[in-house]
Amino acid sequence: MAQPNRFYDFIEIKYKDLTYQLNNWLQSVYKKSAINFNSASPYGQIINVLKELFQHNIIYLKNAVKILDITQSQNKKVIQQTARISGYSTSRAISATGTLKFQLKQGIDINTEIKDSIIIINNGLILKNKTNSLYYSVKLNTERNIFPLSNSNTIFYLPIIQGKYETQQLTGKGTSNQSFSINIPGNKQIENFNYSIYFNGTLLKVKDNIYDMLPAEYACVVRSGFDGGIDIYFGNENFGFIPTEGSIITVRYLLSDGSIGEIFNPIINDWKVEDEIFDGQGNSIAVDKLFNIGVETDINFSSDGESIEFLKSAIPYTSRNFVLGTPNQFNYHLRRLNMFSKVNSYNKLEDNDFSVSDTIIEDSIKKINVSINKNQSRGKIIADLNNFNELYAKYKNNLNDNEIYLYLIPSIKKYFNDNINYFNIPFDVFYLDDDEQNKVLSYLRQLGTMAITTEVKIIQPIISRYVMHVYIRRFDYANEDNIRQEIISQTSDYLLNNNRFDRITKADLIQIYKNIDGIDSASVYFISKKNEDYHKKGQDLGYAQPETKTPKYFSKTSQFKTKIQPILAQSTIIKNGIAKPNAAYDPTVMLGIDKVHGDIICDKDEYVIIRGGWRDRKGIWYNEDPNTNGLSSINVVFDGITYKS
């Protein structure tokens, strides 16, 4: 057999390149014409099969390498496993929780249907929602609860959590540092907090690290497993205890379905009780037939665990310091919930001035008293009030330097449907109600790592409304309606995914629009509702903006100027016990808009949305729906055409 006199270039694995190299090599080695190796010949058929197999192997190898590269991989299980190997314990699913209301139906006689007028319910009672076909478990603080009923009291309430409890049993080996894995089939996960581990019937403490366990302490360490389950680690007598050979280790856990367990539009009697409920004499009763079952508090606050993007960013920075004390640490733990579209935490340490003492505050108050008693000028009194206000604000920050403020916007995408989108979703979706706030604080406390001296406050964001004017120069082949719809769609996506808290920049949006097919050039301008309201208020009180005009009865060189005065006559106002001077009307003010760059400027507690439904200072109305006629939330104007040669 002839020996090859050259090698192919294995870097070229494209089909055409590979075919060309193979044919050239065969013709050169065997001195045959190309016709002997084309697809019509037996040799050509064999060569084609070998080329296909080779290409498939290369593609498989490339995909295998790509999956293991966390910077490129989109396989969540692979990324979770990589995180686990790196020492990072991923956050598992968190189940939705809420409260059900049971109210006796009309015409039901308690004494006849319910013996002793008592309802007995066991902890872990299972219910099934008829709409989503998911299981929910009653979560009581005791093994069972007794609810007495009477003609005047025909209602009782049950707290529930999405999921169903299961149990697995393991056997101790009698060796040091034993470990066990609880594996879960399918797409379900063991709920992040709801699991218990028993050793021969004794409940074990769960510690964060093996070195946190005392000598021979009945405790264990739990980490998230590779596939939605958990791994359990025991000690070596110096740290923790050793489960004896043949001992029974029981693991009870809640199987969670994650975010799909939330119920947004509850329906009365949409529940089926799967377990038995008893009356006072131990008889099983048909609760579904006796009671109307409804939702008392929303069934929400669920999570599927960390997103792929969060895991990729967290793996390289895995830290063993899990104490919740600084804003960044709060951000970390709240973002891993993957249930908020925007998360920010901050304190006021950067505003602190610890040189402001009690004595300085007292001296400032004395100066105000002296100014008033001596009938000093109005300007002097206002200056002293301003000085006190500034000092007291710094002093107040010093007192609250251990407070963490949480700014949280729920993930509003889950409320979208055929009729609801970014531009018409109700405003209350952007806020956390009292029940949701309590669940957030409960989650942080459950982590068990919050600093004792830290106080947490959840703030309700201040919603600021803006409208956009987008000026487009298009290419001659482009369709204006298609461009308009693409601009509206991509603007919505950008605003929903924007993670900046200081501003929304025109440059970001212009760059997005430039990538839309058919757009040659784009400009963006924002109009702020609060800015328009401010100037409208000035006009309503008779303080028009300065203008220069030439009345008919004046010569062209004469100038007429409107005098600018304060909006309100009183010089100061009292707010939260602090005297503040009223600002004079400033016609050059642009509230919420950067005067130089035209960007939207945001405060720490502010949430910006592009939404109409309001009038500007001239009385012009902006609709909410950008697809309606007239001015709206997003106004696309085509002001030129570029013809391609």
Query: Per residue in 340-363, pLDDT tens?
Result: 888 988 886 555 555 666 777 788
40 CB contacts (<8 Å, ≥6 apart)?
A: none
Cβ–Cβ < 8 Å for 330, 130: no
| pLDDT 10s digits, 163-178 | 999 999 999 999 999 9
Residues facing 218 on adjacent strands: none
Distance CA(326)–CA(62), nearest Å, equals 42
Nearest to 164 by CA among 133, 146, 137, 187: 137
Taking the CB of residue 33, how many other CB atoms lie within 10 A of it?
Answer: 9
Report the pLDDT value the prediction gives residue 205, as an integer from 0 to 100.
94
Distance CA(337)–CA(92), nearest Å, equals 9
Question: Where residue 529 falls among pLDDT bands split at 50, 70, 90?
Answer: very high
Residue, of 551 and 65, whose pLDDT is higher: 65
Residues facing 128 on adjacent strands: 135, 272
Distance CA(480)–CA(81), nearest Å, equals 47
| pLDDT 10s digits, 125-172 | 999 999 999 999 999 988 999 999 988 889 999 999 999 999 999 999
Sign of CA dihedral 330, 335, 339, 340: positive
Q: What is the largest CA-CA distance in the chain?
A: 118
Q: Give the H/E segment covering residue 491.
A: helix 480-497
Residue, of 518 and 375, whose pLDDT is higher: 518
Distance CA(459)–CA(408), nearest Å, equals 8
Cβ–Cβ < 8 Å for 249, 180: yes
Residue carrying structure tokens 């903006």: 545
HSE of 547 in the Cβ direction (CA atoms, 13 Å)? 7
In order, the DSSP letters of 100-156 are EEEEEPTT--HHHHSGGGEEEEETT-EEEETTT--EEEE--SSSEEEEE-BTTB-EE
User: What is the chain's alpha carbon radius of gyration, rounded to the nearest angstrom?
Assistant: 35
- Determine the average pLDDT of the residues in 515-534: 94
Cβ–Cβ < 8 Å for 138, 121: yes
Report the pLDDT value the prediction gives residue 215, as an integer from 0 to 100.
92
Residue 496 φ/ψ, nearest 5 degrees: -70, -30
Question: Where residue 70 falls among pLDDT bands split at 50, 70, 90?
Answer: low
Cβ–Cβ < 8 Å for 554, 561: no
Question: Where residue 562 falls among pLDDT bands split at 50, 70, 90?
Answer: very low
Report the pLDDT value the prediction gives residue 109, as an integer from 0 to 100.
86
Sign of CA dihedral 254, 260, 266, 267: negative
Report the pLDDT value the prediction gives residue 165, as an integer from 0 to 100.
95
Report the pLDDT value the prediction gives residue 414, as an integer from 0 to 100.
84
pLDDT at 609 > cutoff 50: yes
- Determine the average pLDDT of the residues in 286-312: 88
Residue carrying structure tokens 């100038």: 559
pLDDT at 617 > cutoff 80: yes
Question: Where residue 211 falls among pLDDT bands split at 50, 70, 90?
Answer: confident
Report the pLDDT value the prediction gives residue 35, as an integer from 0 to 100.
59
328 CB contacts (<8 Å, ≥6 apart)?
A: 345
Q: Give the H/E segment covering residue 371.
A: helix 358-373
Going from N- to C-terminal start, the domains of the chain cover: 15-68, 97-163+260-300, 165-256, 321-347+409-460, 350-404, 462-545+587-645
What's the DSSP call for residue 184? -
Report the pLDDT value the prediction gives residue 51, as an integer from 0 to 100.
74
Distance CA(73)–CA(59), nearest Å, equals 15
Q: Are β-strands 97-104 and 291-300 bridged in parallel, bridged antiparallel, or unpaired?
A: antiparallel
- Determine the average pLDDT of the residues in 47-76: 70
Q: Which CATH architecture has domain 165-256?
A: Sandwich (2.60)
Question: Where residue 305 falls among pLDDT bands split at 50, 70, 90?
Answer: confident
Q: Which two tokens stand for residue 205?
A: 């403490």
Q: Which two tokens stand for residue 66?
A: 């790509």
Report the pLDDT value the prediction gives residue 557, as an integer from 0 to 100.
39
| pLDDT 10s digits, 85-101 | 666 778 889 999 999 99
Report the pLDDT value the prediction gives residue 42, as an integer from 0 to 100.
75
| pLDDT 10s digits, 576-598 | 445 555 556 778 889 999 999 99
- The counts of H helices and E strands in the chain are 13, 31
For residue 606, the Cα-to-chain-centroid distance in whole angstroms is 16
As a whole-number percent, the residues of the chain with pLDDT over 90 amount to: 44
Residue carrying structure tokens 């299981």: 135
What's the DSSP call for residue 263? B
| pLDDT 10s digits, 464-489 | 999 999 999 999 999 999 999 999 99
Residue 102 φ/ψ, nearest 5 degrees: -110, 115
Cβ–Cβ < 8 Å for 247, 197: no
Cβ–Cβ < 8 Å for 509, 498: no
Report the pLDDT value the prediction gives residue 637, as an integer from 0 to 100.
94
- Determine the average pLDDT of the residues in 33-58: 72
Distance CA(564)–CA(586), nearest Å, equals 8
581 CB contacts (<8 Å, ≥6 apart)?
A: 382, 385, 386, 571, 572, 573
Report the pLDDT value the prediction gives residue 324, as an integer from 0 to 100.
73
Residue type, 125: L
Task: Determine the Cα angle at 390 with ends 387 and 391, to 5°.
Answer: 85
Model pTM?
A: 0.67
Report the pLDDT value the prediction gives residue 596, as an integer from 0 to 100.
92
Question: Where residue 503 falls among pLDDT bands split at 50, 70, 90?
Answer: very high
Taking the CB of residue 184, how many other CB atoms lie within 10 A of it?
Answer: 19
Distance CA(19)–CA(7), nearest Å, equals 14
pLDDT at 605 > cutoff 90: no
Distance CA(544)–CA(547), nearest Å, equals 8
Question: Where residue 564 falls among pLDDT bands split at 50, 70, 90?
Answer: very low
Distance CA(293)–CA(136), nearest Å, equals 14
Annotate 490-509 with b (16+ C-beta within 10 A) or e (fewer): ebbeebeeeeebebbbbeeb
Q: Distance from first CA to last CA of the chain, Å, rounded?
A: 59
